[in-house]
């Protein structure tokens, strides 16, 4: 399922991220990068001071990706402002990814194959240092997919991003078959996901 979203791809900004569990304090060695990331969020959306924001981390989607990008980290912050603004805001910051590479971001039913119902919400392209940032204004906190034929509702409580170009992942997973996770119907393998929350999910 695809819907039009209001997306701001802010790759010209400094992108930083950190590891840690949902709502958990960050480690001191990466404190400065976390402060920089949240300073950026405050600039982009002043409501961060009053909204009940929550933050969680993504992890490499497979052992092959972890071996290929051992320093890859990604953090998602969601501001649940739908009641006041009509949409929530999702901010994704990442570093340690392959440089100058585009990734396609999805809300998903499952964080691992076969992924279930999915919604394409954004693209971001990393800078030369492997960092990237994107903001998405959409329904995030209560996102779902609904099949009006079967009348089955699927909750989209996970976040996954894929290599947007099937050729871009060859240095990590050589010979991998293209997937469908991009606007043109051709993607590479999953890069980062919220599978670290299984059997639960990071979104309500």
Using a 10 angstrom Cβ sphere, with 0-12 exposed, 13-18 middle and 19 or more buried, the burial of residue 58 is buried
Query: pTM for the whole thing?
Result: 0.77
Task: Give 183's contacts (C-beta < 8 A, 6+ positions apart).
Answer: 2, 104, 120, 123
pLDDT of residue 51: 57
Contact 6, 50 (CB under 8 A): no
State the pLDDT confidence band at 36, using cuts at 50, 70 and 90.
Answer: low
| pLDDT > 90 in the chain, percent | 73
Summarize pLDDT for 106-123 with one digit per residue, the tens.
Answer: 999 999 999 999 999 999
Structural domains of the chain ordered from first start: 6-197 (2.60.40)
pLDDT of residue 14: 36
Count the neighbouring beta carbons within 10 Å of the beta carbon of residue 152.
Answer: 10
Task: Give 184's contacts (C-beta < 8 A, 6+ positions apart).
Answer: none
Given a cut of 80, whether residue 92 has pLDDT beyond it is: yes
Alpha-carbon Rg of the chain, whole angstroms? 16
Given a cut of 60, whether residue 4 has pLDDT beyond it is: no
State the pLDDT confidence band at 31, using cuts at 50, 70 and 90.
Answer: very low
Summarize pLDDT for 140-185 with one digit per residue, the tens.
Answer: 999 999 999 999 999 999 999 999 999 999 999 999 999 999 999 9
- CA–CA separation, 199 and 185 (whole Å): 29
Among candidate residues 6, 1, 46, 12, the one with its CA nearest the CA of residue 133: 12
Of 39-43, 75-79, 159-163, 197-201, which range is least confident?
A: 39-43
pLDDT of residue 87: 96
């Amino acid at each position: 399922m695809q819907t039009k979203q209001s997306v701001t791809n802010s790759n010209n900004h400094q992108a930083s991220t950190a590891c840690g569990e949902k709502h958990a304090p960050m480690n001191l060695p990466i404190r400065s990068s976390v402060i920089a990331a949240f300073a950026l969020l405050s600039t982009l959306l002043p409501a961060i001071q009053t909204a009940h924001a929550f933050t969680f981390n993504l992890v490499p989607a497979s052992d092959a990706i972890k071996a290929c990008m051992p320093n890859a980290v990604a953090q998602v912050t969601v501001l649940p402002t739908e009641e006041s603004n009509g949409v929530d805001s999702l901010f994704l910051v990442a570093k340690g990814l392959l440089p100058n590479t585009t990734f396609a971001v999805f809300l998903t039913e499952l964080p691992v194959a076969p992924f279930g119902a999915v919604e394409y919400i954004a693209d971001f392209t990393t800078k030369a240092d492997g960092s990237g940032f994107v903001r998405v204004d959409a329904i995030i906190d209560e996102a779902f997919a609904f099949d009006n034929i079967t009348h089955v509702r699927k909750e989209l409580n996970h976040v996954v991003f894929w290599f947007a170009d099937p050729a871009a992942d060859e240095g990590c997973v050589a010979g991998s078959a293209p997937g469908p996770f991009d606007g043109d119907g051709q993607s590479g393998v999953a890069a980062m996901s919220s599978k670290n929350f299984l059997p639960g999910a990071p979104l309500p």
